[in-house]
Amino acid sequence: MRNIKWIFCLFLLVVAGFWIGFHPDFWAQDNIILLRNQFLQLTGLIAISSMSLILVLATRPKWLEPWLGGLDKTYRLHKWLGITALVMAVTHWLWIEAPKWARDLGLIEISRPPRPSREGMGALQQFLMSQKHLAEGIGEWSFYAAVALMVVALVKLVPYRWFVKTHKLIAIAYLALVFHAAVLFNFDDWMTPSGMILGVLLLAGAYSAVLVLTNRVGRRSTITATLEKIETFPTMQSVEVTVNVGRQWPGHRAGQFAFVTFDDKEGAHPFTIASAWNPSDGRLKILIKALGDYTSTLHSRLKPGSTARVEGPYGGFTFDDADARQVWIGGGIGITPFLARLKDLAQLPAGARRNIDLYHAVPVEDEKLSLRLKDLAHRAGINLHIIVDSRDGLLTGEQVRKDVADWKSASFWFCGPRDFGTALSRDLTGNGLPDTRFHQELFEFR
């Protein structure tokens, strides 16, 4: 989380800072139209720059994962940028309309400054000036479309399949806004650092938008797999799917996930891989929780012998640190990455293993899954704690601190409900655990 917070803040600081650096008196204009024009430039710059980075991140660039801490963190940054773009776009629109409203209400008088002369302008600048009204019209309608689509993306009440389809349309609105920005950005500012950064972002964003619209995102990382087995865990309302990926799969590390498409109409869903990778076996196990109208019917929809598309692997929740002591906490279906890691550890000699405590906190215990966990924990040589809410109460940081005497020297790996993880993190870091030792999978893609 720390990395994406710094990157988010640094991005906004660079985008806005360079522009302000070349317009230090932008807020001191004595004419409302000149003041409005300056704020239009700044808010528009931040909005279109944020949207550009959003489109780049939407292509799931693997080269960025080490910098951001995994694709789950990439999508969290994607969400923050979406909120920023939405706020800045609305502010940009208000700066266009608010002076008119104030004038119509008799609150202010507007005197327009003289229009700049076209004498001495180059051919390119004159061409851009001639496209101004077209760019303003396209920008207005693209703004309305983009705002509506971003609201749909942020409101989780919209079903996932519709979210995926409408979210894709943002790429079309973005390309229209690229034209709007290219025409209306102050011509003299293109040769400043601010303009050069904007130019790079617009090119990268436009290329990414084309990848999104032509369904090329993740294509090089996608393979076709065959469904072999479907096993249900009714108590946990979950289903485990075994797929054969053969030798096409590049391999994965325990804790990573993949985008899996079982139905073209539904699209790809992200699922954590519950198995360690064995090239000689060529199979992946995916544990899926019934969380929506689609995943709740998978047990009846999926049939052995059918095909699926698997894209990946992605993610940085891979238990990488130098600490000899680790504590794992899986809330409900959040046990999935730990299942894969347990299978890895079970294959290692006892001397190569770490000292690990694993907590599996669940509302209701699934005996079949618990038996599997106990067997894997025994073979991997770790301490297993199964916490059932109705029997043991809710798992808290205080309980973990009582159970694990040397918890301050451990690294913590959490996967589960966000609020649960936040509560544990606050307790542990509030009692002396460095926040860099608490690793949380942010498995939310909306």
CATH number, span 219-314: 2.40.30.10
Query: 30 φ, ψ to 5°?
Result: -95, 0
Tell me the percentage of the chain whose pLDDT exceeds 70. 94
Fold classified for 325-440: Rossmann fold (3.40.50)
> How confident is the model over 61-79, as pLDDT tens digits?
999 988 888 888 998 999 9
The pLDDT of residue 432 is above 80: yes
Residue 16 or residue 234, greater confidence = 16
pLDDT, position 321: 83
Averaged pLDDT, 229-244: 89
Closest CA to 407 of 346, 342, 329, 325: 325
> How confident is the model over 396-408, as pLDDT tens digits?
999 999 999 999 9
The pLDDT of residue 443 is above 80: no
> For residues 83 and 12, is the Cβ–Cβ distance under 8 A?
no
pLDDT, position 153: 74
The pLDDT of residue 446 is above 60: no
pLDDT, position 175: 96
Closest CA to 86 of 139, 10, 148: 148
Residue 54 or residue 114, greater confidence = 54
> For residues 414 and 329, is the Cβ–Cβ distance under 8 A?
yes
> How confident is the model over 293-309, as pLDDT tens digits?
677 778 778 899 999 99
CATH ID of 2-114+121-213, from 1.10.10, 1.10.3470, 1.20.58, 1.20.120: 1.20.120
Residue 279, Cβ neighbours under 10 Å: how many? 9
Enumerate the domain spans of the chain: 2-114+121-213, 219-314, 325-440
> How confident is the model over 39-49, as pLDDT tens digits?
999 999 999 99
Q: Do domains 219-314 and 325-440 have the same CATH topology?
A: no
> How confident is the model over 343-397, as pLDDT tens digits?
988 887 765 678 899 999 999 888 889 999 999 999 999 999 999 998 999 999 9
Q: What Cα–Cα distance (Å) separates residue 125 from each residue in 122, 131, 184, 236, 293? A: 5, 10, 11, 63, 53
> How confident is the model over 365-377, as pLDDT tens digits?
888 899 999 999 9
76: tokens are 């969290």
> How confident is the model over 269-299, as pLDDT tens digits?
889 999 999 888 999 999 888 776 677 778 7
340: tokens are 């894969």
| pTM for the full predicted model | 0.88
pLDDT, position 157: 64
How many alpha carbons fall within 13 Å on the CB side of residue 413? Answer: 22
DSSP secondary structure letters along 94-131: HHHHHHHHHHHTTS----PPPPPP-TT--HHHHHHHHT
Query: 100 φ, ψ to 5°?
Result: -65, -45
The dihedral through the CA atoms of 181, 183, 188, 193 has a sign that is: positive
How high is the mean pLDDT of the chain? 89
> How confident is the model over 111-131, as pLDDT tens digits?
776 666 666 678 888 888 888
pLDDT, position 110: 75
pLDDT, position 88: 95
Name the strands in the sheet holding 238-244, side by side, starting at the edge strand that comes first in the sequence: 269-272, 257-261, 307-314, 222-233, 238-244, 283-289
Q: What Cα–Cα distance (Å) separates residue 58 from each residue in 52, 235, 446? A: 10, 35, 12
pLDDT, position 117: 62
